[in-house]
Amino acid sequence: MKVRIDTEKCIGCGLCESMCPDVFKLDDDGKSHLKKDEGVDSTGSPQDITCKSCDLYDIANSCPERAISVYE
């Protein structure tokens, strides 16, 4: 799956990180980012993510600002 976080929309509530700390983290800017150790970059482009411990669609739908997009 491909995951993208729109940091312009992100309010830094931390819900995504609490739901899946293996993939998401709040960075120094107070915004959610994909973890660097997952092999992603910081360009804002959708990144391939695999997580066996969470449902990325559920996390995207839980985001209060709809800042997370998940693509097949």
List, in sequence order, every beta strand (DSSP E) within 1-72: 2-5, 24-26, 32-34, 47-48, 68-71
Selected from 3.40.50.970, 3.30.70.20, 3.30.479.30, 3.30.1600.10, the CATH number assigned to the domain covering 2-71 reads 3.30.70.20
The DSSP letter of residue 47 is E
What local confidence, expressed as pLDDT, does residue 62 receive? Answer: 98
Domain boundaries along the sequence of the chain:
2-71
Looking at residue 65, what is its pLDDT? 98
pLDDT value of residue 51: 81
CA distance linking residue 66 with residue 59, whole number of Å: 10
Helices (H) then strands (E): counts for the chain: 2, 5
List, for the chain, all residue ranges whose pLDDT scores fall below the cut of 70.
Answer: 36-46
pTM of structure: 0.82
CB contact at 8 A, 65 and 10? yes
Are the C-beta atoms of residues 66 and 23 closer than 8 Å to each other? no
